[in-house]
Amino acid sequence: MQINHTPATLRTESISVSYGAAPVVIDADIELLPGGVTALIGPNGSGKSTLLRGICRLAQTRGQVTLDGSDSAALSPRAFARRLTILAQQRPTPGGLTVTEVVELGRHPHRRRFSRTDDASRRAVQRAIELTGLEELAHRPVTELSGGQLQRVWLATCLAQETDVLLLDEPTTFLDLKHQMSLLDLIRDLADTHGLTIGVVLHDLEQAADIADRVILVAEGRITATGTPAEVMTAERLSGTFGVDIQVTELPFGGLAVRAQRAGRRGAAGQLTEPALLSA
């Protein structure tokens, strides 16, 4: 079942996002490629999740977020939720609900007050369950699921929302290799076949290079590079940003091999490093 979305353009214009007084994300200008996949990469604590939270109005934000050129602040929360959704990192597990009932929560922005579930909602929920391979779990209580199964349920809830823009914060967490690969395939397919505009935070740099049309590098709260995977993910830039020796090789059929070198317990001069000395 296919839903054709009009590829949406999402831009941030000089947004700064804070939890308290000091901004954690500073003057960020980004654009998610319409109908494409944009990967956000960067070290722990660099501000990737906070940037997504700022875009979604989940943290205090200065600056403008535009959707198809219009200020998104003009949209009501419900209208905004019909355009954009996020698979966030941490979500509580709702007790007493089945998989299907949780996926139905994604239809909330489309539902009129006191209205019953309509055919469009039923189709959207069914499609989301199929796309995420949850058919056999559809009637199970969510409290009985594994971390990876639950991750797919939350993704299905986002898909049932049928937004033009989908933000995914480390969606491969908890997933085994097979499910990571099918999720990456699904992300590509949602952009290529269904026209979704996707922003995804990924820690696996090879996966980011593999699926992204565009990569945004975040370091210490600032955007430090934007471009194709090969443009952004150079060995020098990645090594400098992540503070570890990283080698990057272009693969013959596309994609990048990204290999980080362990420093080991002995430094270049053969001296035991500080932690090793302390634990000796």
Ligand X SMILES: Nc1ncnc2c1ncn2[C@@H]1O[C@H](COP(=O)(O)OP(=O)(O)OP(=O)(O)O)[C@@H](O)[C@H]1O
Residue 212 in tokens: 């992204």
Instruction: Say how many Å lie between the first and final Cα of the chain, rounded.
Output: 61
Give yes or no for residue 238 binding ligand X (CB under 6 A): no
Confirm if 5 and 164 have CB atoms less than 8 A apart.
yes
Interface with ligand X (CB under 6 A), residue from 1, 45, 265, 267: 45
What does the alpha-carbon distance between residue 52 and residue 150 come to, in Å, rounded to a whole number?
21
* CA nearest neighbour of 164 among 116, 126, 197, 132: 197
Residues 95-124 binding ligand X (CB under 6 A) are none
* In the complex, minimum distance from the CB of residue 250 to ligand X, in angstroms, rounded to a whole number: 26
Cα separation of 162 and 166, whole Å? 9
Residue among 36 and 42 whose Cβ is closer to ligand X: 42
Stretch that binds ligand X, among 46-54, 153-161, 232-240, 257-265 (CB under 6 A): 46-54
Q: Are strands 60-67 and 10-18 parallel, antiparallel or unpaired?
A: antiparallel
Which residue, 50 or 132, has its beta carbon nearer to ligand X?
50
The minimum distance between CB 48 and ligand X, in angstroms, equals: 4
Q: Rounded to the nearest whole angstrom, what is the least distance from the CB of residue 32 to ligand X in the complex?
A: 17
The span of 44-52, 117-125, 127-135, 138-146 binding ligand X (CB under 6 A) equals 44-52
Note the maximum CA span of the chain: 72
φ, ψ dihedrals at 61, nearest 5°: -130, 135
Q: What type of residue sits at position 19?
A: Y
Decide whether 128 or 223 has the Cβ nearer to ligand X: 223
Give ∠ CA 240-245-250 in degrees, rounded to 5. 95
Nearest CB to ligand X, comparing residues 45 and 254 = 45
Give the contact letters, 59-98, x = binds to ligand X (CB under 6 A), - = no.
Answer: ----------------------------------------
Compute the distance between CA of residue 160 and CA of residue 128 in angstroms, rounded to an integer.
5
Residue closer to ligand X by CB (options 44, 115) is 44
Q: Which is nearer to ligand X, 121 or 241 (CB)?
A: 241
Smallest gap, in angstroms, from Cβ of residue 19 to ligand X? 3
- CB nearer to ligand X: give 45 or 267: 45
Q: Among 1, 14, 19, 147, which residue sits at the site for ligand X (rule: CB under 6 A)?
A: 19
The two structure tokens encoding residue 94: 């709702």
C-alpha span between 32 and 227 (Å, rounded):
11
Residue 207 has which token pair? 């996966």
* Interface with ligand X (CB under 6 A): 19, 24, 42, 44-50
